[in-house]
Structure 1
Amino acid sequence: MPWSTLERFDVSFFDTAPHRHSFTMDLPVAPETVWQGLAGDTPLSWCRGLSGGRYTSPAPHGVGTTREITARGVLRLREEFVRWEEGVRHSFCVAQASLPLFRRFGEDYLVEPTASGTRFTWTFAFEPVPLLARPAALTGVPGAAFLKGLIGDTKRHFGAA
Structure 2
Amino acid sequence: MAHRLNPVGPDFVASAPVRLVFTREVSAPPEAVYGALADDVTGWPQWFIAVTLCRPTGGGTGREVRLKGGTRFQESILAAEGPERYVYRVDRANAPGLRALVEEWLLSPAGTGTRVQWTFAMDGAAPLRGALKLGRAGLGRAFRDAVVALDERLAAQAA
What TM-score, normalized by structure 1, do the two folds share? 0.83
Offset of residue 137 of structure 1: 3.0
Contact 1:51 1:73 in 2 (8 A): no
What TM-score, normalized by structure 2, do the two folds share? 0.83
Contact 1:77 1:98 in 2 (8 A): yes
Equivalent position of 1:44 in the other structure:
44
Equivalent position of 1:67 in the other structure:
63
| Aligned-partner Cα distance in 2 for 1:55–1:73 | 21
Alignment of 1:135-146 (within 5 A): 136-137=129-130, 140-141=133-134, 144-146=137-139
Equivalent position of 2:29 in the other structure:
30
2:81 maps to 1:112 = no
Cα distance, 1:138–1:73 mapped onto 2, change above 3 Å: closer
| Aligned-partner Cα distance in 1 for 2:28–2:131 | 37
Contact 2:75 2:89 in 1 (8 A): yes
Contact 2:54 2:65 in 1 (8 A): yes
Name stretches of at least 5 consecutive residues in structure 1 with no aligned partner.
none
Cα distance, 1:102–1:51 mapped onto 2, change above 3 Å: same
| Aligned-partner Cα distance in 2 for 1:20–1:140 | 9
Paired amino acid for 2:54: G
